[in-house]
Amino acid sequence: MSRILLVEDEKKLAELLAAYLKEEGFQVEVAETLGTAQIMLETEPELVILDLTLPDGNGLDLLRQIRASGSRLPVIVLTARVAELERILGLELGADDYVTKPFSSRELLARVRAILRRAKDMEPQKTTLVTVGDLKIDLEGHQVWMGGKELSLTPTEFKLLSTLAEHPGMLYSRTQLVEVTLDGYVPGYERVIDTHLSNLRRKLGDSAQDPKYIATVYGLGYRLVRGNG
């Protein structure tokens, strides 16, 4: 049974979501404040559903704390539909996905299941290394090193990088990358993929203008650069 930490101060909404997720087989703990959520992280949940507007602070502060610790804990951000800048900032800080209010419980459930599947896929197995320059990617062990130093990638970032690395030089459209990361196509998610790839490039020290690792084929998609290994 997967453990979910739901950080939501709207009591009625939190109760409805918690009841729905429990019916679907999840163990759910609810935190109504930023301070409570920080304490409850010690229970080691497998996923966090995080509202950004909390009575004692911004949920982005909790997201910063999680990523600053090097944790790959999956995080889904809940935002108001008008808060586009906060959605973008959340993704840049390492959120794996976002859901805009109002939303359906079924939509949230689908995203929870997809992200938990990706996180489970990151569990260590046998080693299969792909090398591009000083970048080493362990496709089975779900680890990435840059110049001998291990990088901390979110499950979504690793899924994108490993997909590109499995077939270096192969062009992937944004729609294909959406299908890979979400186990199926979700309309409108292409822009989110661009943000995840931008975050991934930043962690790799890469540049869209002069790519060493991930090249953009404008109007078509992305590919992993070959010939640097």
Residue-wise pLDDT tens digits, 199-220: 999 999 988 888 888 998 888 8
85 conformational bin, left if phi > 0, alpha if psi -120 to 50, beta if neither:
alpha
Nearest-angstrom CA–CA distance, 27 and 216: 41
Task: State mean pLDDT over 66-75.
Answer: 89
pLDDT at 229 over 50: no
Task: State mean pLDDT over 150-172.
Answer: 88
Homologous superfamily in CATH for domain 3-121: Response regulator (3.40.50.2300)
Would you list the domain boundaries of the chain? 3-121, 129-224
pLDDT of residue 93: 85
Q: What is the mean pLDDT of the chain?
A: 86
Residue 155 tokens read as 């499950």
The pTM (predicted TM-score) of the whole model is 0.59
pLDDT of residue 217: 87
pLDDT of residue 185: 55
Could you name the CATH architecture of 129-224? Orthogonal Bundle (1.10)
Q: Print burial letters for 99-121: b (CB count within 10 Å at least 16), e (below 16).
A: beeeeeeeebbebbebbbebbee
pLDDT of residue 83: 60
